[in-house]
Amino acid sequence: MDVLTGEVTVAHPELLDFETNPVFTLGVLVSDLNDATRRDAATVTIYLQDVNDAPQLPGQAFSVVDHALAGTIVGTVLSTDADQGTHGDVTYAITNGDPDHAFAIDPATGVITVANSSAIDRALTRSLF
């Protein structure tokens, strides 16, 4: 806070995290520059406005048996999102690495299933020869 103008600015942005602490209550003192005994104090409340944080997706590994039937559950991708409410909603998609659509991912739950059993076999064949 500027001593003369009273302007409140952000000094340490890393401390402003809505998910950690959404409200700051500051004790503020005003003093007469010529006579510090003439003063008043009050609390100033600062409410952080939530911003939509990006979800975090750590790398994960699953295994599935060869010749697994379509519909077999391979695993559930786990992600985190710091936000509450609709800003915490996420959707999943497979974007590459599966040209034959051997697998499917549930966009809402992150559950990966076998979508095309023969595509898994083809992929194995390709990698063997």
* Interface contacts to Ca ion, rule CB under 5 A: 18, 50, 52-53, 81, 83, 87
Question: Which of 31/109 has CB closer to Ca ion?
Answer: 109
Provide the b/e sequence for 114-128 (b: ≥16 CB within 10 Å).
Answer: bbbbebbeeeeeeee
To the nearest whole angstrom, how small is the minimum distance from the Cβ of residue 104 to Ca ion?
A: 24
To the nearest whole angstrom, how small is the minimum distance from the Cβ of residue 54 to Ca ion?
A: 6
Question: Which of 83/106 has CB closer to Ca ion?
Answer: 83
* Contact assessment for residue 68 and residue 92, using Cβ atoms and an 8 Å cutoff: no
Q: Which stretches does DSSP call E strand in 78-119? A: 103-105, 111-114
Question: Which of 17/106 has CB closer to Ca ion?
Answer: 17
